[in-house]
Every structure is written in structure tokens, then in C-alpha cells.
Amino acid sequence: MAIERNLRADRWADADDQAEINFKPLTREQASALRAQQPPLSPWRVIGVQAAVGAVAALIAAFVIGRQEMAWSVLYGAATVVLPGALMARGMTSRLSSVSPGASAVSVMLWESVKIAVSVAMLVLAPKLVQPLSWPALLVGLVLCMKVYWLALLWRGSRSRST
């Protein structure tokens, strides 16, 4: 048994050595070209698209389905994603969160915790704030707005492949 473990350890060591041999750091020009090829996606653009998707879903509920209470529930579900997301985006784009890599990591954890807490609080307050509340409609608005994150990733991926 001990011999097999040593062989496995040696095999992993060889793979690590091979990875170090194949690793080549980028030059300043190569890094600039890579950044130009894959520009960052603004969190505010994602928040804006989420708000637009929520508004369109609420309008569809109001005018196509014809139920006003469903429209308010869909809109509140969208707000449950958009408002905490905007709060996190504001916190993450502040100057303080980009001081150092350690501060950035702590900032991500802090603002994600705030985002979750605000979302949960909004869901708890939903029956008091939206009368009459339709939970299925609220969940439709919430899920539609959360799926915008996937659309943003797909959009960014297709944009970087086209250049």
C-alpha cells in the first residue's frame, strides 16, 4: 500500500513540474491585448437589463393576462433581485473595495451577505407590502430577473468570440 501511495505522489509531482514548465507569463502588450479582447461587463448594465426584464414581465402580467395583482407581484419579485443587486454593485464598485486583493475578497463576502439579507427581508415583507400577493407571480419575476445573469455571461462570451 505504501508503495502505491508514493507512486501516486510522484505522478502528481511530475504533473506539477510539467505545468510549471508550460507556464509562460504574459507580457504587458499581451495582457493589454487580452483585456481589449475581453472587456469587463458592467454590473450596472446587468442591473439595468434585470430591471427592464422585470418591467416587461409586469406589463405582460397586467395587459396580456389582465390581472393587476399579478403585475404587482411580478414587479415586487423583480425588485427583490434588482434592489439588492444594485446595492451590491454600488458596494463592489466603490474605491474602498479595490484597495487590495484582500480588501476585494472581504468586500465580495460582505456585499454578498448584505445582498442575501436584503433579499430575504424583502421576501419576508412581501405579504405585508403587496396586497393581494400572488407567490407564483412573485417567483416568476424573481426567477426571470435572476436568469439575466446567465444571459449576461452568454452575451459576454459571444461578444468576446466575435472579435
Find the range with the poorest average confidence among 3-7, 63-67, 79-83.
3-7
Phi, psi of 99 (to 5 degrees): -70, -45
Q: Is the pLDDT of residue 54 over 80?
A: yes
Q: How many domains does the chain have?
A: 1
Q: Is the pLDDT of residue 163 over 70?
A: no
Q: Assign 111 a pLDDT band (cuts: 50, 70, 90).
A: very high
pLDDT computed for residue 22 by the predictor: 72
Domain membership flag for residue 82: yes
SS3 19: helix
- 51 in Cβ contact with 85 (< 8 Å): no
Domain membership flag for residue 131: yes
Domain membership flag for residue 86: yes
* CA distance readout (Å), 16 to 13, 24, 25, 56: 5, 14, 16, 51
CA 142 to chain centre: 14
Average pLDDT of 126-151?
A: 94
Average pLDDT of 115-120?
A: 97
Q: d(Cα 70, Cα 134) in Å, to the nearest integer? A: 6
Average pLDDT of 44-65?
A: 93
Find the range with the poorest average confidence among 4-18, 34-48, 53-67, 81-95.
4-18
Domain membership flag for residue 119: yes
Average pLDDT of 57-80?
A: 93
111: containing domain: 43-146
- 145 in Cβ contact with 78 (< 8 Å): yes
Domain membership flag for residue 117: yes
